[in-house]
Amino acid sequence: MKRFLGFVKKEFIHIFRDYLTMIILFGIPAILVLLFGFVISMELKNIRVGVLDLSRDEVTQKITDKICSSGFFERGKDLAGYHELGATLRGGKTKAILIFGEDFSQRLLSEGTAAISIITDGSEPNVATQTTNFITAIIGDYNRELAQTDMPGTLLVSPEVRMFYNPTLKSQFMFVPGVITMIMILICALMTSITLTREKEFGTMEALLASPLKPAQIIIGKVVPYFFLSLIDAILILLLSWLVFGLAVKGSILLLLAELMLYILMSLSLGILVSSIAKTMQQAIFVTLVGGMLPTVLLSGFIVPIESMPEIYQWISAILPPRYFIVILKNIMIKGTGLAFVWKETLILVSFTAFFIVISLRSFKTRLQ
Amino acid sequence: MNKAIESIKVSKRFGEVVALDNVSLEVNRNEIFGLIGPDGAGKTTLFRIITTLLLPDKGSMMVLGLDTHKQYRELRKRIGYMPGRFSLYQDLTVEENLSFYATVYGTTVRQNFELIADIYSHIEPFKKRLAGQLSGGMKQKLALSCALIHKPEILVLDEPTTGVDAVSRKEFWEMLKKLKEKGITILVSTPYMDEASLCDRVALIQGGKIMDVDTPRRITEKFPRRIFHVSSDEMHRLIRDLHQFAKTDSVFAFGRYVHFTGIDDEVETSELDKYLSDQKHTNVLVEEIGPGIEDVFINLMGQQ
């Protein structure tokens, strides 16, 4: 045990003395989160809203005015009929269209409820979500005003939101699970594979192997510091996205941490596996970047939705652990679901981890080749 | 008590290259044993087999009576190994390196400090310095301290003096003598022939084969011929002219001198003097000397 602790201490010294490692560990995650966050969540201002008003009465006029005078939107084209919808949105200037059905106010009075359709341009998902959120809020405001008037019954204007071009609209916070998934692979797999191959390249592995240290001690000693640092990193990312972008984790924090640890462990064991194959640091970097990072970014559903991939990529995606982790994160962080909804993905990650650990322990040589 | 090292018909090849060919060797306890040979002779491979880092293809290797294949765990605790490449952590300080190796071997610096005190005193003033910033000689002393910190019974040093200045080399060999007095068996390899005479016994290795094992003195005594060192003002012409001399067997340049052996022991200094004067060499010096390890080495290589 003392030997092991001595080894861990040495690893921490390596990490803290190397500026580059520190930058990769803490600089890159922060920069990525801020970058993604700011690019994606731009301020909503003067969004052009078209109106298709088939009712043309006092109420629809009032609602339209209320929305367009809010400062977020400006009044765009008045549409003559449904047939103009597609052309208007495709024109690109109009980002959303309000549709009031025929006899809007009459229905509101007689049935107590009337629906407004909001159609947004889903090809810009962030603008689209924010637009619908804002319009919904403004309509909610109007409902409250209605309730205070002496008009009979409970009046309710209920917005029906429909998005064109990207019907399952991703939330603007979807990037956070993606960034966490990517960074954990980057740090855990890349760093551990580099640190192990560094020992080989600098010739220090020869001295380590000649010592009574057991392979497990060397491997776990390498992994422990990165395990804790990665965990700190993940928490840092969560804090940043909460403090800067207001993304609060909806589900259980404990479950989230447990899943994070599992994923970190999986990535670390992947890194060890890489280092047992790679002889030099360059090889290790190449293998992790090409074999780990790229598929994570492209095929895990982080950027391109898995459902819209060609079938062959969907199959490849199925053997990529990050894919399952993104699902887990989205469920816990954004939907707020519990283990009951992610146990399958969790189980898959557990099996990946076990598989990598067994293989890497087996392939670690107690002698030089 | 068994031998410190017992190598029985050890062979090792890497693909097509035969690194060791049927090497049989015995090293006694508490001696300084030198492995002398040029680069690529197989010294490092032999040392890696001794330190359990490589397995022989054929043959068996016993160190301290333990098999390097089956009992490597036990053995690794009792061997101190200093690899040919500087194998300490450059980004750790002198002190940190030493205490790291101490903990790895399950001991502390204080526990065995007495053994390394003498060596460590040279580098102690720089103990807060990163190992990567030390000079060659100091790196070597630190590496030796680290290899010794667990009080090994046998110390294996792979070319410890390569790339080290002459003064540090001399100091280093003095340290090895003191370690021997403390009962440690030392196995050392070197490409420098002059260091051979500082060992108790040496093995000459070339092309993966052991050519001879003996004390340095006896090895040189076995040299079959009288040997002369010759010099003149024109080195290159001297070598050329000597090659054309009728009674020449071999001519090799050794620094400022040429080592000459004749076809038989009948060749006299006066004959050489006369021949070289006739060739109009100036400042000619011809003198009979005792053969060195290097002469033996070259002679043995010529025989192969």
- Which chain B residues touch A if contact means CB-CB below 8 Å? 48, 51-55, 72-73, 76-77, 79, 81, 83, 85-92, 96, 99-101, 103-106, 146
Angle A121-A125-A129 (CA atoms, 0-180°, nearest 5)? 90
- Which residues of chain B lie closer than 8 angstroms to A206, CB-CB? 48, 53, 81, 83, 85, 87
Whether the per-residue pLDDT at B211 is higher than 70: the answer is yes
Torsion of CA A122, A126, A127, A128, to 10 degrees: 40
Which pLDDT score, from 0 to 100, does residue B187 have?
Answer: 95
What are the φ and ψ backbone dihedral angles of B120, each rounded to 5 degrees?
-65, -25
* Mean pLDDT, residues B21-42: 91
Task: Give per-residue pLDDT as tens, B157-176.
Answer: 999 988 888 888 888 999 99
Please say whether the beta carbons of B29 and B84 come within 8 A. Answer: no
Which residues lie below 8 Å from residue B87, measured CB to CB, with a gap of 6+?
A202, A203, A204, A206, A207, B143
Q: Is residue A220 a contact partner of residue A4, using CB atoms and an 8 Å limit?
A: yes
Residue among A120, A119, A124, A97 at smallest CA distance from A42? A124
- Cβ of B96 within 8 Å of Cβ of A13? The answer is yes
With an 8 Å Cβ cutoff, are B87 and A203 in contact?
Answer: yes
Q: How many Å apart are CA B38 and CA A151, to the nearest integer?
A: 106
* A120 bridge partner residues: A96, A163
What residues does each domain of chain B span? 5-215, 223-303
B91 → closest Cβ in A3, A17, A212: A17
Model pLDDT, residue A153: 47
Cα separation, B292 vs B216, whole angstroms: 9
Best mutation site among A211, A218, A222 for testing chain B: the one with the most B CBs within 10 Å? A211
Write out pLDDT tens, residues B138-163: 999 999 999 999 999 999 999 998 88
* Encoded amino acid at A247, one letter: L
Which residues contact residue B75 at a Cβ distance below 8 angstroms, ignoring those fewer than 6 apart? B52, B63, B64, B66, B68
Asked whether residue B82 carries a pLDDT value surpassing 90, the answer given is yes
The one-letter amino acid code at A181 reads T
Flag whether residue A17 sits within 8 Å of chain B, measured between CB atoms.
yes
Amino acid letter, B22? N
Q: How far is A15 from chain B (nearest CA, A)?
A: 10
Q: Rg of the Cα trace of chain A?
A: 27
Cβ of B79 within 8 Å of Cβ of A208? The answer is no
d(CA A194, CA B185): 37
pLDDT at A76: 82
A293–chain B Cβ distance below 8 A for any pair? no
Q: Average pLDDT, whole number, for chain B?
A: 88
Among chain B residues, the shortest Cα distance to A217 is held by B104
Q: Cβ contacts (< 8 Å) between B81 and chain A: which residues?
A: 206-207, 210
Q: Which helix (H) or strand (E) holds B262?
A: strand B257-262
Quickly name the fold that domain B5-215 has: Rossmann fold (3.40.50)
For the segment B113-117, the average pLDDT, to the nearest whole number, is 90
Provide CB contacts within 8 A for B169, sequence distance 6+: B161, B192, B195
Domains, chain A, in order of start with CATH, read 2-39+172-363 (no CATH), 47-164 (3.40.1710.10)
pLDDT at residue B192 in the model:
83
Q: Please tell me the predicted confidence (pLDDT) of residue A151.
A: 58
Instruction: Please report residues of A whose CB lies closer than 8 A to that of B99.
Output: 6
Domain B223-303 has CATH 3.30.70.100: yes
CA distance B127 to chain A (A): 16
Question: Where do the H-state alpha helices sit in B149-215?
Answer: 166-181
Separation in Å, CA of B155 to nearest CA in chain A: 12
pLDDT beyond 90 at B99: yes
Within 10 angstroms of residue B141's Cβ, the number of other Cβ atoms is 25
Q: What's the rounded Cα separation, in Å, for the pair B273 and B279?
A: 10
**Which segment of B27-36, B109-118, B125-134, B220-229 scores lowest on mean pLDDT?**
B220-229
Q: Tell me the per-residue pLDDT of B232-248, one tens digit each, with 9 for 90 and over.
A: 888 888 888 888 887 88
Q: What is the pLDDT along chain A (369 residues), one digit of tens a residue?
A: 888 889 999 999 988 888 888 888 888 888 888 887 776 555 566 778 888 888 888 888 888 888 888 777 888 888 888 888 888 877 778 888 888 888 888 887 777 777 788 888 777 666 777 788 788 878 878 877 777 765 544 556 666 665 554 444 445 566 778 888 888 887 888 888 888 888 888 889 888 989 998 888 888 898 899 999 989 988 888 888 888 777 778 888 899 999 999 999 999 988 888 888 888 888 888 888 887 778 877 887 776 667 767 888 888 888 888 889 988 988 888 777 888 888 999 999 999 999 988 888 888 777 776
Question: What distance in Å separates the CA atoms of residue A290 and residue A284, rounded to the nearest whole number?
Answer: 10
Chain A hits for B77, Cβ within 8 Å: 212
Name the 3-class secondary structure at A247. coil
* ipTM surpasses cut 0.85: no
pLDDT of the residue at A33: 80
- Among candidate residues B128, B139, B76, the one with its CA nearest the CA of residue B104: B76
Residues in chain A with CB shorter than 8 Å from the CB of B55 are 367
| Nearest-by-CA chain B residue for A17 | B91
Residue A170: per-residue pLDDT: 45
**Closest Cβ opposite residue B100 in set A6, A18, A368:** A6
- How far apart are alpha carbons B88 and B94 in whole angstroms? 9
For residue B128, what are its two tokens? 């807060």
A282 near B CB under 8 A: no
Q: What is the pLDDT of residue B304?
A: 65
Cβ contact B88–A3 (<8 Å): no
